[in-house]
Amino acid sequence: MLSANDKFLPIAQVIKSYGTEGEVMISVFPQMPEDLDIQEPVFFFFEGLPVPFFFESIDFRGNRARVKFEGTDSLEAADELTKMKIFLPADQLEEEEDESMFLIGFTLYDATEQLRGTVQDLHDFGGNL
């Protein structure tokens, strides 16, 4: 089965639904392209499979954005996307000098195989991540 980390990279995560018309608020990850082509689909993973979603509108607000996806026209539909990551095919993202940013989205387990969390963000303190 194709996993999200094989050919897709996370660019954002849905924080919450916004209003009653199907809009959502997303948190933008640093690797999201500044020149994102909103005519191209982004992908959500449902049961391990990538499902394309097209933007109807996007309104950036710093590192967040209010987004409306085509076909997501109700609060219930928007709520289904809450907490889900948004992916782009890896080949659509430009190679960055700092490849460590692609750690975002990876899951961390300790030596006893207990889930410790998922990398949400990276901070560079003078060359020390």
Domains of the chain and any CATH numbers: 4-91 (2.40.30.60)
pLDDT tens figures, 96-120: 445 566 677 777 788 888 888 888 7
Spatial contact of 43 and 50, defined as CB atoms under 8 Å apart: yes
In angstroms, rounded to a whole number, what is the distance separating the alpha carbons of residues 48 and 2?
Answer: 7
- The label of the residue with tokens 């609060």 reads 75
**pTM, rounded to two decimals:** 0.68
pLDDT tens figures, 45-103: 999 899 999 999 999 988 899 999 999 999 999 999 999 999 998 877 655 445 566 67
- Cα pseudo-dihedral 129, 8, 91, 82, rounded to 10: -90
CB count in 10 Å sphere of residue 121: 11
Spatial contact of 16 and 96, defined as CB atoms under 8 Å apart: no
Q: Is the dihedral of CA 13, 111, 124, 7 positive or negative?
A: negative
C-alpha distances in Å from residue 30, one per residue of 44, 55, 72, 122:
18, 19, 25, 9
